[in-house]
Amino acid sequence: MTWSLRTGEDFSPPGEYLKALLMTALGLMLSTVGTDLSAGVQRFTFGRMDLIDGISFLLLAMATFALSEAVMMVLKGQRETDRISLEVHSMRLTRDEIRSIAPVIVRSSILGFLVGILPGAGATIASFLA
């Protein structure tokens, strides 16, 4: 099913708003795990020392990607025809590839340099913007 964008027409497929609200509620519920900063009371730790500091954002991000991949693998299954075979010939760039990426490299280098020299911004923001 494809969705087209016309004037005055809703672009998001049905159920997207409900899905977004449910994910927001789940995120808020997960953020309440740990020690309350204002009262010092443990919330939803169930006596586990691992949960006193709360749930790490990195752990949640990695688990989200792993869970979605596991669900997709179960739903799709894996047939012999679904496997992808890759052939690696050469890692060298051709002249056409160099011509196509040269403007991006120049633009990213200039933007990264200008943001990187700003005090307090640092290399992380420069790399992200570039």
Q: What is the pLDDT of residues 49-86, one digit of tens each?
A: 888 888 888 887 888 888 888 888 888 876 554 566 66
The verdict on residue 115 lying in a domain is yes
Say if 6 falls within a structural domain.
no
Structural contact between residues 129 and 111, judged by C-beta atoms closer than 8 angstroms: yes
> What pLDDT is attached to residue 100?
93
Question: What's the pLDDT score for residue 96?
Answer: 92
- What pLDDT is recorded for position 82? 57
1, part of any domain: no
Percent of the chain with pLDDT over 90: 8
With 60 as the cut, is the pLDDT of residue 8 above it? no
For 42-66, give one letter per residue: b (16+ CB within 10 A) or e. eeebeeeeebeebbeeeeeeeeeee
**What is the CA 68 to chain-centroid distance, rounded?**
12
Both 105 and 68 in a single domain? no
Q: How far is it, in rounded angstroms, from Cα 27 to Cα 41?
A: 20
75: containing domain: 16-82
Residues 102 and 74 occupy one common structural domain: no
Count CA atoms within 13 Å of residue 41 on its CB side: 5
Structurally, the chain folds into a number of domains equal to 2
Q: Mark whether 66 and 22 lie in a shared domain.
A: yes
pLDDT, tens digit, for every residue of 104-124? 999 988 888 888 787 777 777
